[in-house]
Amino acid sequence: MKATVIDTLRYANRLKNAGVEAGQAEAMSRALNHELIEGLATKADLDNAVLEASSRPSTRRSTACAARTATSSSCSR
């Protein structure tokens, strides 16, 4: 997912210039920014995912072994 960054002050000012009340424009700007960044992964999220994935045993070999066993071939580690 591509990160979307907005200038919340510029966005709020554009809303104000379009006739939206200042407090409402600022609240809308903060809400939009929150929604855009809520689902983004942080560096810590990615580091944790890498650590978790590297600690799991690989299933590729066991899947390949199961396929070979089904066709009567031996599977050794």
Structural domain total, the chain: 1
Taking only the tens place, the pLDDT of each residue in 36-76 is: 888 788 889 899 999 998 888 766 656 666 666 665 555 55
In this structure, is residue 2 part of a structural domain?
Answer: no
| Spatial separation of the C-alpha atoms in residues 69 and 20, rounded to whole Å | 69
For residue 28, the enclosing domain spans: 8-70
Closest CA to 8 of 30, 36, 38, 24: 30
What would the mean pLDDT of 21-30 be, rounded to a whole number? 96
In this structure, is residue 47 part of a structural domain?
Answer: yes
Predicted TM-score (pTM) above 0.75: no
| Spatial separation of the C-alpha atoms in residues 13 and 3, rounded to whole Å | 22
| Spatial separation of the C-alpha atoms in residues 13 and 4, rounded to whole Å | 19
In this structure, is residue 30 part of a structural domain?
Answer: yes
